[in-house]
Amino acid sequence: MRKPMRTLITGASRPLGIELVRQSLMRGDTVYAACRNPARVPVLADLRAQYGGLEFLALDPADASSVADAVPVLEGLTETLDLLVVAPAEPGAHDRSAQLARDEELSTLSGTGLVEHYRRHAVAPLLLVRTLLPWLAHGDGARVLVVSTTRGSLSAKRDGGDYATGASAAALHMLTRALAHDLREERIVVCLGNPGRYAESADDESAPVLIEDAALGLLMQAERLPRERSGAFVDWTGAERGW
């Protein structure tokens, strides 16, 4: 019988983050849903009322002061984390549609935009794992799931553009792979997971994967990944993805 886990999920205001919270609660886990302002995400309150076992954590991984403020709150909630899920980040100032579109094209990209995107989407997840390492190391064989995109795959790159997104995702992949090696002695398994092109509702037939299937699949792959494969890049079905 599966043992319930203590799971912290970042990006819990975004569609995939919310669904990861939902699926974790349905599996009987205690969940710490982290996002910039949980009070502004009514669905989280609905999930807590429906399932229980859900705590909120005001946390933006890319904001150092937010992370510092969240640490004592988490200390009051738990001493141990069995699973840390770093889901897609909430948009920052450089992730607004106009700026993001600008930094995806060679003719309009800016150094400032590229660096900020890299900081928020590649560096911040790594630093967050380091901050939460005492909770992960306190348990027995904790897991880290970093959700990413195939845009970070060098072998799959067949066209131009996607400068900010692609470069940041590729950097995240390298940092996650290095992290997996460094955490082996702590018996912590790291999984880089790709949810595929998911639909956010049953009415959306443009994507081949429903969001609930993508979320549950990612959680299962993170839990099942063999220790010797720590650092692998897999999709929600467990299939290996190209680097």
Average predicted confidence (pLDDT) for the chain: 94
Q: Which helix (H) or strand (E) holds 101?
A: helix 97-102
Considering the chain, what percentage of its residues have pLDDT values greater than 90?
Answer: 87
Is the residue at 61 inside a domain? yes
Is the residue at 242 inside a domain? no
Is the residue at 212 inside a domain? yes
Residues 6 or more apart from 25 whose CB is under 8 A from it? 31, 47, 50, 51, 53, 54
- What is the tens place of the pLDDT at every residue in 90-101? 887 666 766 778
Q: Which helix (H) or strand (E) holds 210?
A: strand 209-210
Is the residue at 241 inside a domain? no
> Average pLDDT, stretch 37-48?
97
Is the residue at 87 inside a domain? yes
For residue 5, is pLDDT > 80? yes
Tokens of 171: 């950097």
Domain that holds residue 152: 6-235
CATH number at residue 101: 3.40.50.720
Chain CA centroid to CA 202, Å:
23
Count of domains forming the chain: 1
Amino acid 136: pLDDT: 98
Is the residue at 1 inside a domain? no
Is the residue at 202 inside a domain? yes
Is the residue at 214 inside a domain? yes
Amino acid 131: pLDDT: 98
